[in-house]
Amino acid sequence: MTQDVGVLIIDDSAIVRKALTDQLSKQPGIKVLGAAPDPYVGRDMIAELKPDIITLDIEMPRMDGLTFLRKLMKYHPIPTIIVSSLTQKGCATALACLDAGAIDVLAKPGEAYSVGNLTTELARIIRNAKSIDITKRAAVAAMNASKQTTKLSLGASHQTTNKIVAIGSSTGGTDALTRVLTPLPGTSPGIVMAQHMPAGFTSSFAARLNDLSEMEVIEARDGDSVIPGRAILAPGDKHLRLVKDGARYCVQVSQGPRVCRHRPSVEVLFESVAEIAGVNSMGIILTGMGDDGSTGLKTMRDAGSVTVAQDEASCVVFGMPKVAIERGGACHITSLDKIADQIVQFASGKLKATKAAA
């Protein structure tokens, strides 16, 4: 009797891991040995389970899939299929993955829940994997790496489809943030937040939000990954910036001078999100005194972000949103109770950005 092909799934999405596990387990001749949430766990499971083949996502915390694939082909070659929303056939990332040694690339469907739809094609590739000489694939990958035959691989790992939500608030913001975060599902896009608070208060505030929300809410530490299901709050008296490490969004925490009289400053956060995430981002400015974040929200809108300002009727202080609206930064002006729903719409692609009037 022919032995089943042992498969290890590496994907940071719990929904995708479950869907692929369930669907592939129904396929004759295939045995799912396990599923890992990131490359570091995957590395240990490869050593323990010795799979015949792995499926690998690109956008993951701690290490992106393309970097892991290159390391894998160099030190422990194993047939690898890339399954990612970044790998549409013929795109730069798909070519970079093939150059790095992947035996094939498959694009995830737009909705994680429908990932089972690609199972038939994935199962076909898995069954044929044993006929592939992975040693030759690894040798080709090494040659590509040494010659740097394409510029695509240099930039491909810096692409991403993960969405980011940036929220800024001040006076009245603790209640406003609570009302925005608590209705959100645990699968919501990663959120970064700057709320004007002194040092020593943000840790307990993040813990309270974490207890109330389905999302994981944490006080930011330098290098924390911004991933779906996680909301990161700027520490009191520290600026928070969005940065990028390969395909991974993460945060940078720093002291620095006050901006718009504040630290953390909403302006600093919004400007970084506009630069790093652009069209993949949503900016929300909530109740607060002054004008912090108003120019940054306009920068986000100019970068193609969806931008939202809380309306006057639901604000404790209609200062920051008012100035942001006056400066043309808001695509949408929304009541506080509707902002969580708009985040859900943004995540599904139903809420769009609009250009500011000339």
In one letter, which amino acid is 204? S
CA distances from 162 to 51, 78, 187, 231, 278 (A): 28, 27, 12, 14, 11
Task: Tell me the CA distances in angstroms from 150 to 99, 104, 144, 153, 156, one per residue in order.
Answer: 9, 18, 8, 6, 11
Residue among 181, 196, 185, 189 at smallest CA distance from 165: 189
Q: 36 and 68 in contact (C-beta within 8 Å)? A: no
Q: Which one-letter amino acid corresponds to residue 344?
A: V
Per-residue pLDDT at 87: 55
Q: How far apart are CA 113 and CA 169, in angstroms?
A: 34
pLDDT greater than 80 at residue 273: yes
Are 5-156 and 164-348 the same fold in CATH?
A: yes
Q: What is the pLDDT of residue 2?
A: 63
Q: What pLDDT sits at residue 59?
A: 85
> What are the two backbone dihedrals, phi and then psi, of residue 78, each rounded to the nearest 5 degrees?
-150, 140
Q: How confident is the model at residue 298 (pLDDT cuts 50, 70, 90)?
A: very high
Does residue 325 register a pLDDT over 90? yes
| Residue range 178-229, pLDDT digits in tens | 999 999 998 899 999 999 988 888 988 999 999 999 999 999 999 898 988 8
Q: CA angle at residue 207 from 204 to 211, to 5 degrees?
A: 140
Chain segment 45-73, per-residue pLDDT in tens: 999 999 999 999 988 888 888 899 999 99
**Residue whose C-alpha is closest to residue 108's, from 84, 92, 82, 124:** 84
pLDDT in tens, 122-153: 888 898 777 677 887 788 778 766 654 333 33
Model pLDDT, residue 112: 46
pLDDT for the residue numbered 358: 56
Between 117 and 275, the more confident residue is 275
**Coil, strand or helix at 194:** strand
- Which residues, in sequence order, are CB contacts of 284 under 8 Å at separation 6+? 165, 166, 167, 168, 180, 307, 308, 309, 310, 339, 343
pLDDT at 199: 83
Q: What is the chain's mean pLDDT, rounded?
A: 87
- Domain positions in the chain are 5-156, 164-348
- Mean local confidence (pLDDT), 95-106: 81
The residue type found at 298 is: K
Across 68-82, 126-140, 281-295, least confident range: 126-140
CA distance 96 to 251: 26
Residue 91 pLDDT grade (very low, low, confident, very high; cuts 50, 70, 90): low
164-348 has CATH 3.30.43.10 classification: no
Judged against a pLDDT cut of 70, whether residue 110 lies above it is answered with: no
Read off the pTM: 0.62
Q: Rounded distance, CA 48 to CA 27, Å?
A: 23
What pLDDT score does 101 carry? 86
pLDDT at residue 115, as a whole number: 58
Report the catalytic residues: 170, 196, 292
What are 172's two structure tokens?
């009245």
Q: What class, spelled out in words, does domain 5-156 have in CATH? A: alpha beta
Q: Write down the pLDDT at residue 277.
A: 95
Report the C-alpha gap between 300 and 329 in whole angstroms: 8
Could you tell me how far CA 321 lies from the centroid of its own chain? 26
114 burial (CB, 10 Å; 0-12 / 13-18 / 19+) is: exposed
| Residues 163-180, mean pLDDT to the nearest whole number | 94
The residue-averaged pLDDT of 28-36 equals: 95
